[in-house]
Amino acid sequence: MRYMQFTLVIFCALLFTSTVIADDKSAHKPMDMQEMIAAYEKLATPGEPHKLLGSLAGSWTAKTREWIDSQKPPVESTGVSNGKVLLNGRFLQQEYSGTMHGKPYVGIWTVGYDNLLDRYVSTWIATMGTGIFIMDGTASEDGRTITFTGQHAELGGGHMTHRAIWKIIDNSTQEFVMYGTHHGGKEMKIFETIYTRKQ
């Protein structure tokens, strides 16, 4: 039954994606059902980026500096992050407990690598809101610095755009820095968090 459902999904995808880019990047050819299934099975297989994400599972302590007012020193806080691998190594989920704007909160960050898009993708949900914050991005050549971009709606209309740099320094240290831009204004640093693996 599940195979039939999978086949139906692939067939629907085939209807919307009737051509694929060939090896020479200029010619298109139709893809038959078996080729489509084989291609999706290959895309569904975790690779090196997923192994890197999986290596970050476990418990971490976090030290955050938050810039609420750019004219004042940052607010410092601590937190705890617990990470686990989901769906046989396809995603990393980190549950963070800490404070934001001086109030306690819990957030869940799920990050993966989309083989089809050739990009990292992530979602963030937290007790400080009811929306889902989505970002995606690419990695440096060594794969250990990932730059994400995204945006969220602001009060009064419009969006705030974000740029985040996630550095996987080593197996015991991570750095996550977030920048934001209000209504096309000047980019400012919002917060930075240093994660240290618990011993």
Residue 18, both tokens: 């009737």
What three-state secondary structure class fits 93? Answer: strand
Domain 49-197 has CATH 2.40.128.20: yes
Residue pair 52/168 in contact by the 8 Å Cβ criterion = yes
> Which of 94, 187, 199, 104 is CA-nearest to residue 149?
187
Q: Per-residue pLDDT tens for 149-183?
A: 999 998 888 899 999 999 999 999 999 999 999 88
Q: Per-residue pLDDT tens for 79-136?
A: 999 999 999 999 999 999 998 877 899 999 999 999 999 999 999 999 999 999 999 9
What pLDDT is attached to residue 100? 82
- Beta-carbon contacts of 150 under 8 Å, excluding residues fewer than 6 positions away, are 133, 134, 135, 136, 161, 162, 164
Domain range list for the chain: 2-44, 49-197
Q: Vertex 26, ends 22 and 32: CA angle to 5°?
A: 30
Calpha distance 30→18 (Å, rounded):
6
% of the chain residues with pLDDT over 90: 69
Report the predicted TM-score, pTM, of the whole model to 2 decimal places: 0.82
